[in-house]
């Protein structure tokens, strides 16, 4: 199998035998060392390239060694000069051009290997591409003029284009690419070239998912411990390049690039799955860096009407606009009230709902009828909630009672005592669970009999927590954030870390197949081993 670059100038054509196709990684490294040591072994490079299909992983590693060293030594560097006469290229120039042709062919093969179905080859191809890009940035192939800091953007764009594939999801590769965000220059230039790779027209859904994952994983330079876009001692992928003036990062430029990318994304049609992913990226990565976050109002309002996680995530975005950008949304409490349904306990983002609801209802100037409706609805949901969620709801209700002392009537009200026996069966409760308007739910006419019922819960932790309505309320509110961290998936991790008491199974460690010492049967029988 011959390479498209042909043989080295002045060398004989290399014959590829079946034995060469079975060349091991050790022999590949040996051929690479021979090539780097002497030009008389130049055709070793052709042989290695020709064996790419059969030994892809080993060839990628070998090419990383070969071209990393060639770049370091400057063997492919060409000084571009303007000549008025046409002359025959020297042998040295022909060899250098041949190396550069091989280098370009290798780049194509490495980038194509990132689409290989085998994860190990994908990851190694990405790693090698980044290392070669870094080496080329430190020692460019040609003179660099009028540039303060050289970074091979043309290589970076090709890598990102492969990551943003329209045909297959590359979440694992994107997570691996995220490692270069620790290098300030690579992070800045990645954002710099991303708008040019974002189409304005509707792309494939797979491409959108890859792009959203890419934006989610990639921080902005400001988040990378840089102040005003600069850092005193930044870690750079392509080296200091002090002679060229050094690297200067512009946070405003990176922020502008993010806004360009996001403006394109907001014009695309979204499936429910992509809609949810987009909201997560917007809330966790993009929102703090938008130039005009208020422009997201219509999108978030439309998303708020969706059921399930989409509406819940949109609620968090609306909360940001209300608290930080003075957005007025009079029906926000009605929408929040409608989200407390039994189905919420089976969603991934229920912790966000409890946390945001506690913040929304933190004001002591809210009408008591409104807060009472939330307390009563939450109390009713404890009858069908999982035990860990019951504990959170009880803390939430406790906070509402602390902020609004008038709500203690839901615990002890003279008019409620005569209804307690009926309310415990749910027949005489004036509270309207199906009412969508919290102010029309008759919550102030009811009582928290559900919490009283929980005092007989089968789990001692729930029964103990429900007894808070019998005791004087604390003077300080419960910390919902820390309580949410102690529940859910954290409970399993906490139990795993608990040390189990060691139980001694034997008093004496057995040293052979013989019976323990002191066993009476040993007086009459002896266990022997057949050899």
**Residue-wise DSSP of 69-82:** HHHHHTTT------
Domain membership of residue 141 as a residue range: 22-79+91-147
**What are the φ and ψ backbone dihedral angles of 18, each rounded to 5 degrees?**
-60, -30
Of 8-12, 69-73, 284-288, 395-399, least confident by mean pLDDT is 8-12
* DSSP 8-state secondary structure symbol assigned to residue 493: H
Grade residue 111 by pLDDT with cuts at 50, 70 and 90. very high
**What are the φ and ψ backbone dihedral angles of 227, each rounded to 5 degrees?**
-105, 120
Query: Is pLDDT above 60 for 413?
Result: no
502 in a structural domain: no
Query: Is pLDDT above 70 for 10?
Result: no
138 in a structural domain: yes
CA 510 to CA 507: how far, in whole Å? 9
Task: Assign residue 450 a region (left: φ > 0; alpha: ψ between -120 and 50; beta: otherwise).
Answer: alpha
Helical packing angle, 119-138 and 153-163, nearest 10°: 160
**Mean pLDDT taken over the chain:** 82
Of 190-204, 260-274, 311-325, 502-516, least confident by mean pLDDT is 502-516
Q: What is the pLDDT of residue 323?
A: 84
Burial class (CB in 10 A: 0-12, 13-18, 19+), 232: exposed
526 in a structural domain: no
43 in a structural domain: yes
Q: What is the pLDDT of residue 161?
A: 96
CA 373 to CA 334: how far, in whole Å? 10
Contact 249, 234 (CB under 8 A): yes
Of 23-32, 156-165, 437-446, least confident by mean pLDDT is 23-32
Last residue of a domain, one of 147, 174, 193: 147
Query: Is pLDDT above 60 for 17?
Result: no
6 in a structural domain: no
Please say whether the dihedral angle defined by the alpha carbons of residues 409, 411, 416 and 418, taken in this order, is positive or negative: negative
491 in a structural domain: yes
**DSSP H or E stretch at residue 111:** helix 91-113
Rounded to whole angstroms, the maximal C-alpha distance in the chain is 111
Of 87-101, 294-308, 484-498, least confident by mean pLDDT is 484-498
Of 102-106, 204-208, 391-395, least confident by mean pLDDT is 391-395
CA 137 to CA 144: how far, in whole Å? 10
Query: Is pLDDT above 50 for 224?
Result: no
- Total domains in the chain come to 2
Higher pLDDT, 281 or 225: 281
Helices (H), 149-239: 153-163, 171-177, 184-193, 205-217
Grade residue 506 by pLDDT with cuts at 50, 70 and 90. low
CA 121 to CA 132: how far, in whole Å? 16
Contact 490, 483 (CB under 8 A): no
Grade residue 498 by pLDDT with cuts at 50, 70 and 90. low
Please write the tens of the pLDDT for every residue from 53-110.
888 899 999 999 999 999 999 888 888 766 556 667 788 899 999 999 999 999 999 9
Contact 149, 247 (CB under 8 A): yes
Query: Is pLDDT above 60 for 426?
Result: no
Q: What is the pLDDT of residue 193?
A: 93
Please write the tens of the pLDDT for every residue from 232-265.
567 888 876 654 457 788 889 999 999 999 999 9
407 in a structural domain: yes
114 in a structural domain: yes
Higher pLDDT, 346 or 164: 164
């Amino acid at each position: 199998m011959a390479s498209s670059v042909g043989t080295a100038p002045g060398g004989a054509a290399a014959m590829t035998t079946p034995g060469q196709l079975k060349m091991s990684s050790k022999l590949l490294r040996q051929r690479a060392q021979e090539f780097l040591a002497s030009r008389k072994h130049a055709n070793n490079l052709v042989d290695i390239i020709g064996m790419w299909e059969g030994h892809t992983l080993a060839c990628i590693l070998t090419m990383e060694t070969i071209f990393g060293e060639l770049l370091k030594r400057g063997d492919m560097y060409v000084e571009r000069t303007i000549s008025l006469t046409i002359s025959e290229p020297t042998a040295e120039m022909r060899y250098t051009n041949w190396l550069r042709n091989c280098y370009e062919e290798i780049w194509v093969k490495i980038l194509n290997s990132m689409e290989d179905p085998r994860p190990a080859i994908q990851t190694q191809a990405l790693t090698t591409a980044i290392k070669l890009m870094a080496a080329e940035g430190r020692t460019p192939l040609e003179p660099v003029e009028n540039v303060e800091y050289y970074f091979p953007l043309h290589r970076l764009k090709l890598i990102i284009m492969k990551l943003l594939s329209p045909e297959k999801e590359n979440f694992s590769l994107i997570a691996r690419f995220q490692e270069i965000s620790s290098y300030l220059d690579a992070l800045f230039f990645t954002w710099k070239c991303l708008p040019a790779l974002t189409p304005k027209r509707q792309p494939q859904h797979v491409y959108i998912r890859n792009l959203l994952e890419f934006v989610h994983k990639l921080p902005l330079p400001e988040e990378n411990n840089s102040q005003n876009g600069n850092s005193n001692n930044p870690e750079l992928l392509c080296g200091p390049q002090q002679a060229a003036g050094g690297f200067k990062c512009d946070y405003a430029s990176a922020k502008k690039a993010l806004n360009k990318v996001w403006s394109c994304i907001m014009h695309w049609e979204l499936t429910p799955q992509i809609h949810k992913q987009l909201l997560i990226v917007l809330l966790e990565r993009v929102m703090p860096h938008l130039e005009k976050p208020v422009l997201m109002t219509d999108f978030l309002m439309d998303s708020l009407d969706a059921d399930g996680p989409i509406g819940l995530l949109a609620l968090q975005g609306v909360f940001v606009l209300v608290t930080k950008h003075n957005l007025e949304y009079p029906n926000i409490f009605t929408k929040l009230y409608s989200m407390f349904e039994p189905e919420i306990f089976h969603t991934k983002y229920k912790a966000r709902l409890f946390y945001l609801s506690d913040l929304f209802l933190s004001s002591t100037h809210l009408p008591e009828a409104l807060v009472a409706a939330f307390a009563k609805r939450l109390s009713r949901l404890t009858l069908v909630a999982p035990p860990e969620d019951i504990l959170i709801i009880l803390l939430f209700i406790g906070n509402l009672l602390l902020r609004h002392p008038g709500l203690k009537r839901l615990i002890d009200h003279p008019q409620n005592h005569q209804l307690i026996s009926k309310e415990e069966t749910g027949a005489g409760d004036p509270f309207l669970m199906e009412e969508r308007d919290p102010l029309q739910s008759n919550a102030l006419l009811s009582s928290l009999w559900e919490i009283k019922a929980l005092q007989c819960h089968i789990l001692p932790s729930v029964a103990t927590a429900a007894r808070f309505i019998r005791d004087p309320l604390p003077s300080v509110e419960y910390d919902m954030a820390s309580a949410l961290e102690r529940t859910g998936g954290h409970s399993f991790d906490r139990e795993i870390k608990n040390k189990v008491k060691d139980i001694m199974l034997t008093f004496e460690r057995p040293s052979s197949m013989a019976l323990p010492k002191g066993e009476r049967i040993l007086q009459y029988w002896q266990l022997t081993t057949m050899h």
